[in-house]
Amino acid sequence: MNFGQRYSSATITSALRIAALGSACCAAISVGVLLILNLAAPDRPFLVGFAGAALISVFVAFPLLIKLQLKGAETRIIQEKLNFATRHDAVTKTLNGTAFAAAVEHYIDRRRRIATDAGGVMIAVVIDSLDAISRRYGPQWADTVMQSLAAIIQSSVRSGDLVARIASNELGVFLPGASVENAQDVGTRIRRRVSDAAFTAGEAHLTIDIRLGGAIFEGPTDFNHIRQLADDMAMQRGGADSDEALPISRLPAA
């Protein structure tokens, strides 16, 4: 087996270190047991037993412990990949809708339980032209556009903000603790960077039309209310011809 192709150098080094320590412990325990027997019965030769116990511990325990460590590392890597796939969209690598909703609800609930303001802003980014791109050029180009838009949005938000794909043609952004001014700044950056970016499908230039809408809340509420209001603002007032970078509506406390 070529360990270098299956495992990282850090994983192999850690496995070797633990295996060496484990085999040394096994050797020490074996020699210790034989030493006790030798003291208990000094007329019996245990010198060969000392050497045998040490060699058996090294040549049996060491490779066995290496294998166990590497298998454990492989299992952890598989589990991490599975957890990531469960929570993230396969195309954009952002959070999926389920994980995004759970994260927002958790934020609201946690802030409510510690009796502090549970405010924040949700932004809906709707891509009007995505279906047309998929029909004309193929779904792979629609996926490429979504990947690019997700990257643009992630580079436009603040540290700690959440980005997710919440529908086939929609990305969601959650800005915990944000003010209207914070959200407007994010909306402005998103619009400017999308406008400056060049989108293509092969040799064809693509025109990307997005709608932005936001919803701000300052007290206990739920994810569905916030998302619905942000979607409504995007569809009603958030088109390319809007005078506002990000139209925002305030959600009354539940």
For all residues of the chain together, what is the average pLDDT?
82
Average pLDDT in the 124-137 region? 94
pLDDT tens track for 33-84: 566 656 655 555 555 555 555 656 666 666 666 677 777 777 888 888 888 8
Q: What is the pLDDT of residue 1?
A: 47
pLDDT band at 115 (very low <50, low <70, confident <90, very high): low
pLDDT score of 88 more than 80: yes
Q: Which domains are present in the chain?
A: 9-87 (no CATH), 95-250 (3.30.70.270)
Number of H helices, E strands in the chain: 9, 8
Task: Tell me the pTM.
Answer: 0.72
pLDDT score of 4 more than 60: no
pLDDT score of 116 more than 70: no
pLDDT tens track for 182-221: 999 999 999 999 999 999 988 899 999 999 999 999 877 8
Task: Catalogue the E-assigned strands of 154-198.
Answer: 162-167, 170-176
Q: What is the pLDDT of residue 44?
A: 53
The count of other CB atoms within 10 Å of the CB of residue 180 is: 13
Query: Under DSSP, is residue 205 helix (H, G, I), strand (E, B) or coil?
Result: strand
- For CA atoms 192, 194, 198, 204, the dihedral sign is negative
* Cβ density class 72-103: b for 16+ within 10 Å, e for less: ebeeeeeeeeeeeeebbbebbebbbbebbbeb
Q: For residues 176 and 107, is the Cβ–Cβ distance under 8 A? A: yes
